[in-house]
Structure 1
């Protein structure tokens, strides 16, 4: 048995395992594995904490996004209302402007008509006076003629003006 290789391999293995136990390698291996487990657990805890923070941040940003969208919609609605109000005011001012201009034009037309009528009457009076003067000068003579002419001229002027 002392000459068999398996025997010496078994003795060497037992001696090696005993040496490892004596030196406390099994405790060092267990401590190393425990340390690794603790590090992995710490990393998992940190990852979970970061994930929770990220989810909270994402929820916050989504809430802010919804608020921003709501505010943007309100601003757009307000801008549309303002634009409609400004358009209505502009239309009203334009209508008032057109009405004022129309009234001014009508007033100018009436004034022009009245002035034209007055000019026509004045011209007609001048023509009538000249015609009456000529007729009376031809048909009447002397002081009576002059009195009649003067009286006729003043009557025609008074009636036509």
Structure 2
């Protein structure tokens, strides 16, 4: 072990501001901040932290009050949402009941319409039967009238033919002399 030299320490500050501590074999230079030793810097930092904790409690209270206000607003919104949900469920139930009632009404109307349609169909069948009967009677009456007319026409033609034939026969068989005798006989009978 020859000549051992102590390690060189680089100081960031001027050598007048450093405190030297004898640590045995070598010299140790302790760091400083604004001319304060590390324990002094830690003490000041703790003092500032305690002051902030004491006087900053108002800030915590303000923050806590704001959070409490937001919590209360959220609770109020949740209550309002619960009320809206209850109202929505009530409306849903009401409309479900209305739909069920409407379906029952629709079924009743359908049954009613079916009964009315059956009644109208029965009436239409009865009316059509009555109309067929009336038309049948009218046709029979027309046929009977046509038969009577034809019979009357045949009679009229027969009378005309008989009259014509009797005139012809009378004209052929009766002469003026027979007419006088016949006229005298009728006058005598009066």
- When you count helix as a share of all residues, which structure comes out higher? 1
| Bigger shift: residues 111-120 or 29-38 | 29-38
Relative to structure 1, the CA distance from residue 136 to residue 89 in structure 2 (aligned partners, 3 Å threshold; closer, same or farther) is same
Aligned counterparts of 1:9 and 1:42: Cα–Cα separation in 2: 47
Aligned counterparts of 1:59 and 1:92: Cα–Cα separation in 2: 49
Q: Paired residue for 1:32? A: 66
Relative to structure 1, the CA distance from residue 120 to residue 37 in structure 2 (aligned partners, 3 Å threshold; closer, same or farther) is same
Q: Paired residue for 2:41? A: 8
Aligned counterparts of 2:139 and 2:146: Cα–Cα separation in 1: 10
Pick from 155, 158, 161: which aligns with 1:121? 155
Structure 1 residues 31-84: Cα deviation after superposition (integer angstroms, max 9, x where no partner): 333222222222211111111111111111121122222223322332333233
| Bigger shift: residues 40-49 or 78-87 | 78-87
1:66 is aligned to 2:100: yes
Aligned counterparts of 1:69 and 1:13: Cα–Cα separation in 2: 79
TM-score, length of structure 1 as denominator length:
0.68
Aligned counterparts of 1:22 and 1:14: Cα–Cα separation in 2: 12
Structure 1 residues 97-129: Cα deviation after superposition (integer angstroms, max 9, x where no partner): 221121011111112112211221232234335
Aligned counterparts of 2:43 and 2:99: Cα–Cα separation in 1: 73
RMSD of aligned C-alpha atoms? 3.3
Structure number with bigger Rg: 2
With a CA cutoff of 8 Å and minimum separation of 6, indicate the structure with the bigger relative contact order: 1
Relative to structure 1, the CA distance from residue 9 to residue 43 in structure 2 (aligned partners, 3 Å threshold; closer, same or farther) is farther
Structure 1 unpaired stretches of 5+: 151-161
1:77 is aligned to 2:114: no
Pick from 107, 127, 145: which aligns with 2:141? 107
Structure 2 unpaired stretches of 5+: 1-29, 31-35
TM-score, length of structure 2 as denominator length:
0.60
| Bigger shift: residues 53-62 or 82-91 | 82-91
| Bigger shift: residues 134-143 or 84-93 | 134-143
Aligned counterparts of 1:129 and 1:69: Cα–Cα separation in 2: 87
